[in-house]
């Protein structure tokens, strides 16, 4: 999409404004030309020189003819007044033209940014997995602004072209010979400026790339500010951003040096051309130089007025060249045909009456060949709960993403009451669903506005009721400003459990027909999990619910449990039915709750089971990190998948660490209540277990922080990425050492 196409697309709603701007510019050009033509005769008359227009070109005679029948005494005053009036009208027209042109520029900028925001809100989620948010912010800000200025400059170029055309017409009508000579001389100015303009294109591309890099880096730092401070890297990040700022400043200065050269070059060459024209005029009109002095002076004055216009023309051309990259970036950004946009249905979703059905659904993420789901067949009746369980990467979250149409299956269909969900209007479909996931997003706004985000018309009583049901009212009432407390970026002022309860309150207030719970309690401590689970139970009551959970204890009451393995449904039934099959579900259950053959105590049994799961997941994560450190991934896509799997494993390990800490703390508390002195050795061993559990927390949080930045694509420096992976691996190895100490303490206990 070129500048012309952008102009046609976004200037189309303003034909009247554009026409009015051009008419004003044309009027100003005419007034400018006529006023300039009258100046020389008046000046000569004022200084007492004889004005002879008998051999003047017809155009000059026509301009001065209205004053021919006026007496000499009055003619001077009337012509002087006419010049002042005409030049005043010229400036009024130019002023009005500048105002309308600037207004058009602002409107175009606003329209382009609005179109960009609307497009970003309509694009499928997959688009955001392939692009950096900082790049999008740069496009919405700087690039669109520069592109809009280029489009508005197109109107200025038309006006300037009209003005130059008027002046050239006057020059030709006075002397076509001198005009040809002037054109040849001034063409050298254009050739010299062409070199400057070509350099501007290069500088424009460089500035655009630097602005993009700066925006991306700033957003990365602000998004990961906790990690920056936790690792003491403020100075390193400052040096990195300082380098971006100074390099951009240097490039901007070079671009300015290049652009500012146009005016002085044009002026010097213009004066040279003017002097040569004077010399040529003596050659062309040697015999009648005296009688044509008025005409020649008028010609030279008009030419002198034309020179700044030519300089402006070259400046505009330079501006176009400098902003070429911005126009290309903006055109590519606003182009819809190459963006993933879902087709919207026309049926308004109202409510679920019978069931949701997954009919032989298969799915692979866009741009990937690996099938994530393979021929999945599931049914979720109205008012029932379907739980999805399985190992990491089995496809559970993908199913949850397909239901609200974040993606569409590549084969098969998902139906609600027999109607393919692709036939529903997307907004109404999603408003009928409530989604609570482990990655709760909160705006940097008040508690009230975050809860009411799904229903902006909710009353205070409805908000309070929702928070009470979500077990959130108590902690909200203790906040400094209660419901009006600002919770910081992404809810940084709240704990994980508090964030989850706000998300549940938001879903309760929305009162969804269908509920999707994607591991909503996986990253919470025991106390928070209990409060959140109680809120979820209240939220799920009498609703059609799709649950994804790692902890099987949270899905045992589900009406049906589907076990997924490598994208397929391998088992389906109730908790009891699946245990009796002694298949995949039974193995998952035994991994979490199974008994050891020679348990020494219930306390040890629990710790041994936890230790076994801890070691299994930790070994898996270390294996993934080793693959990354040794660069054994076949391509960047596979490398990103390994990072994502490692991150998910880290979240699971954090969950296990929370359980370890809770079990040890509870047992220690019970033993401290005992007065039996024989338990002194046990107390000592429990103290070691507590200290080890705290060390677990420190290292697993470090791993999660490093991997989160990589999963979110916030690091674009390959060397820094490798450093983060190596640091995560070192922390994981420390965890393994701590785990061995932990297991030794269990045996001694």
Query: Tens digit of pLDDT for each residue in 232-263?
Result: 777 887 888 888 788 877 877 777 777 677 66
Tokens describing residue 541: 């009551």
Strand partners for 357 = 379, 415
Who contacts 185 (Cβ-Cβ below 8 Å, separation ≥6)?
A: 272, 273, 276, 277
Q: What is the pLDDT confidence band of residue 681, given thresholds at 50, 70 and 90?
A: very low
DSSP 8-state code for residue 536: H
Who contacts 228 (Cβ-Cβ below 8 Å, separation ≥6)?
A: 221, 234, 237
Distance from C-alpha of 266 to C-alpha of 15, rounded to nearest angstrom = 34
Question: Rounded mean pLDDT of 605-632?
Answer: 76
Quick check: 148 pLDDT over 60? yes
Quick check: 319 pLDDT over 70? yes
- Taking alpha carbons only, the member of 691, 590, 613, 708 closest to residue 651 is 708
- Taking alpha carbons only, the member of 532, 525, 523, 484 closest to residue 504 is 532
Distance from C-alpha of 563 to C-alpha of 541, rounded to nearest angstrom = 23
Provide the CATH number for the domain formed by 3-334 in this structure: 1.20.1560.10
Tokens describing residue 342: 């879902």
DSSP 8-state code for residue 342: P
Distance from C-alpha of 152 to C-alpha of 102, rounded to nearest angstrom = 8
Distance from C-alpha of 226 to C-alpha of 725, rounded to nearest angstrom = 18
pLDDT on residue 597: 36
Helices (H) and strands (E) in the chain, counts: 25, 10
Distance, C-alpha 521 to centroid of its chain? 29
Strand partners for 419 = 416
Question: Rounded mean pLDDT of 528-544?
Answer: 68
Q: Which CB contacts under 8 angstroms, 24+ apart, belong to 270-276?
A: 270/186, 270/189, 270/307, 270/310, 270/311, 272/185, 273/182, 273/185, 273/186, 273/189, 273/307, 274/300, 274/303, 274/304, 274/307, 276/181, 276/185
Q: Is 741 left (phi over 0), alpha (psi -120 to 50) or beta?
A: alpha
Region of poorest pLDDT, from 17-26, 453-462, 736-745: 736-745
| Cβ atoms of residues 561 and 573 within 8 Å | yes
Quick check: 105 pLDDT over 80? no
Distance from C-alpha of 186 to C-alpha of 181, rounded to nearest angstrom = 9
DSSP 8-state code for residue 363: E
Q: In what order do the strands lie in the sheet with 373-381?
A: 373-381, 355-363, 411-416, 419-420
- Taking alpha carbons only, the member of 749, 744, 742, 706 closest to residue 233 is 706
Over pLDDT 70: what percentage of the chain?
A: 76
CA distances from 546 to 189, 667, 727 (A): 72, 35, 37
- Taking alpha carbons only, the member of 244, 249, 224 closest to residue 234 is 224
Distance from C-alpha of 405 to C-alpha of 122, rounded to nearest angstrom = 12
Question: Rounded mean pLDDT of 408-433?
Answer: 88
pTM: 0.57
pLDDT on residue 687: 60
Tokens describing residue 135: 């790049």
Give the pLDDT confidence of 562-615 residue by residue, as tens digits.
Answer: 888 888 888 888 888 888 887 787 777 776 655 433 334 555 666 677 777 777
Q: In what order do the strands lie in the sheet with 568-573?
A: 433-437, 514-518, 544-548, 385-390, 560-565, 568-573
Who contacts 414 (Cβ-Cβ below 8 Å, separation ≥6)?
A: 356, 357, 358, 359, 361, 402, 403, 420, 421
Strand partners for 518 = 437, 548
Quick check: 50 pLDDT over 60? no
Burial (CB < 10 A; 0-12, 13-18, 19+), residue 377, is middle
Domain boundaries, the chain: 3-334, 355-585, 602-748
CA distances from 485 to 350, 477, 730 (A): 35, 10, 40
DSSP 8-state code for residue 493: T
User: To the nearest whole number, what is the mean pLDDT of the chain?
Assistant: 75
Residues in the chain: 749
The three-class DSSP label of residue 408 is coil
Region of poorest pLDDT, from 71-85, 201-215, 274-288, 628-642: 274-288
Who contacts 303 (Cβ-Cβ below 8 Å, separation ≥6)?
A: 171, 182, 274, 277
DSSP E strands in 519-653: the ranges are 544-548, 560-565, 568-573
pLDDT on residue 595: 40
pLDDT on residue 746: 66
Who contacts 346 (Cβ-Cβ below 8 Å, separation ≥6)?
A: 423, 425
Distance from C-alpha of 229 to C-alpha of 143, rounded to nearest angstrom = 32
pLDDT on residue 384: 86
Region of poorest pLDDT, from 394-398, 505-509, 537-541, 692-696: 537-541
Burial (CB < 10 A; 0-12, 13-18, 19+), residue 718, is exposed
Q: Domain 355-585 maps to which CATH number in 3.30.460.10, 3.30.2270.10, 3.40.50.300, 3.30.300.30?
A: 3.40.50.300
Q: Which CATH class is domain 602-748?
A: mainly alpha
Q: Which of the two residues, 129 and 462, has the higher pLDDT score?
A: 462
Alpha-carbon Rg of the chain, whole angstroms? 38
């Amino acid at each position: 999409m070129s500048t012309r196409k952008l102009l046609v697309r976004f200037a189309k709603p303003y034909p009247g404004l554009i026409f009015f701007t051009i008419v004003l510019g044309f009027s100003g050009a005419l007034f400018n030309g006529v006023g300039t033509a009258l100046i020389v005769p008046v000046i000569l008359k004022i200084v007492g020189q004889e004005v002879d227009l008998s051999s003047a070109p017809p155009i000059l005679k026509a301009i001065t003819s209205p004053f021919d029948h006026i007496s000499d005494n009055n003619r001077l005053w009337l012509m002087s007044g006419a010049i002042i009036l005409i030049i005043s009208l010229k400036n009024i027209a130019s002023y009005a033209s500048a105002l309308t042109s600037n207004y058009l520029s602002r409107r175009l900028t606003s329209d382009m940014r609005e179109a960009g925001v609307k497009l970003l809100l309509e694009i499928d989620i997959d688009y955001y997995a392939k692009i950096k948010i900082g790049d999008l912010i740069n496009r919405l800000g700087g690039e669109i602004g520069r592109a809009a200025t280029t489009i508005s400059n197109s109107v200025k170029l038309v006006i300037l072209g009209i003005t130059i055309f008027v002046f050239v017409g006057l020059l030709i009508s006075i002397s076509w010979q001198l005009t040809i000579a002037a054109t040849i001389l001034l063409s050298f100015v254009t050739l010299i400026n062409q070199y400057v303009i070509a350099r501007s294109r290069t500088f424009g591309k460089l500035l655009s790339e630097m602005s993009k890099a700066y925006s991306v880096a700033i957003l990365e730092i602000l998004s990961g500010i906790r990690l920056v401070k936790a690792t003491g890297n403020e100075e390193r990040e400052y040096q990195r951003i300082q380098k971006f700022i100074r390099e951009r400043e240097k490039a901007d200065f070079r671009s300015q040096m290049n652009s500012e050269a146009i005016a002085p070059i044009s002026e010097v060459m213009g004066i040279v051309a003017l002097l040569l024209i004077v010399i040529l005029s003596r050659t062309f009109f040697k015999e009648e130089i005296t009688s044509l002095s008025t005409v020649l002076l008028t010609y030279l004055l008009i030419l002198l007025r034309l020179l700044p216009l030519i300089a402006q023309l070259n400046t505009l051309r330079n501006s176009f060249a400098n902003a070429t990259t911005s126009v290309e970036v903006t055109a590519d950004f606003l182009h819809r045909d190459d963006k993933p946009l879902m087709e919207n249905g026309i049926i308004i979703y109202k409510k679920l009456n019978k069931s949701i059905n997954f009919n032989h659904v298969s799915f692979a993420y866009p741009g990937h060949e690996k099938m994530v789901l393979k021929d999945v067949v599931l049914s979720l009746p109205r008012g029932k709960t379907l739980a999805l369980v399985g190992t990491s990467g089995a496809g559970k979250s993908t199913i949850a993403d397909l239901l609200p149409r974040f993606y569409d299956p590549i084969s098969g269909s998902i139906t609600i009451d027999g109607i393919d969900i692709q036939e529903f209007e997307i907004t109404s479909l999603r408003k009928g669903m409530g989604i609570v996931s482990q990655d709760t997003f909160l705006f940097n706004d008040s508690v009230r506005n975050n809860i009411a985000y799904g229903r902006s018309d909710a009353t205070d009583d409805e908000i309070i009721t929702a928070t009470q049901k979500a077990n959130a009212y108590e902690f909200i009432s203790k906040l400094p400003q209660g419901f009006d407390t600002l919770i910081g970026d992404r809810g940084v002022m709240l704990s994980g459990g508090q964030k989850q309860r706000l998300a549940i309150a938001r879903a309760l207030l929305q009162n969804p027909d269908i509920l999707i719970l994607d591991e909503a309690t996986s990253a919470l401590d025991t106390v928070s999990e209990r409060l959140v689970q109680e809120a979820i139970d209240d939220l799920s009551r009498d609703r059609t619910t799709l649950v994804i959970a790692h902890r099987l204890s949270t899905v045992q009451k589900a009406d049906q449990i589907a076990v997924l393995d490598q994208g397929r449904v391998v088992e389906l039934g109730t908790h009891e039915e699946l245990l009796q099959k002694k298949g995949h579900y039974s193995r998952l259950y035994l991994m979490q709750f199974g008994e050891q053959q020679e348990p020494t105590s219930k306390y040890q049994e629990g710790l041994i089971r936890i230790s076994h799961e801890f070691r299994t997941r930790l070994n898996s994560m270390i294996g993934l990190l080793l693959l990354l450190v040794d660069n054994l991934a076949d391509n960047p896509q596979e490398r990103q998948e390994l990072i994502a799997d490692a991150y998910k494993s880290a979240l699971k390990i954090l969950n296990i660490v929370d359980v370890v800490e809770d079990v040890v703390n509870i047992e220690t508390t019970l033993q401290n209540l005992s007065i039996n002195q024989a338990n002194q050795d046990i107390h000592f061993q429990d103290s070691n277990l507590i200290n080890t559990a705290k060390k677990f927390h420190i290292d697993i949080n470090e791993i999660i922080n490093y991997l989160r930045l990589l999963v979110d694509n916030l690091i674009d420096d390959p060397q820094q990425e490798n450093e983060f992976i190596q640091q995560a691996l070192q922390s994981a190895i420390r965890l393994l050492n701590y785990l061995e100490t932990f297991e030794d303490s269990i045996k001694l206990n």
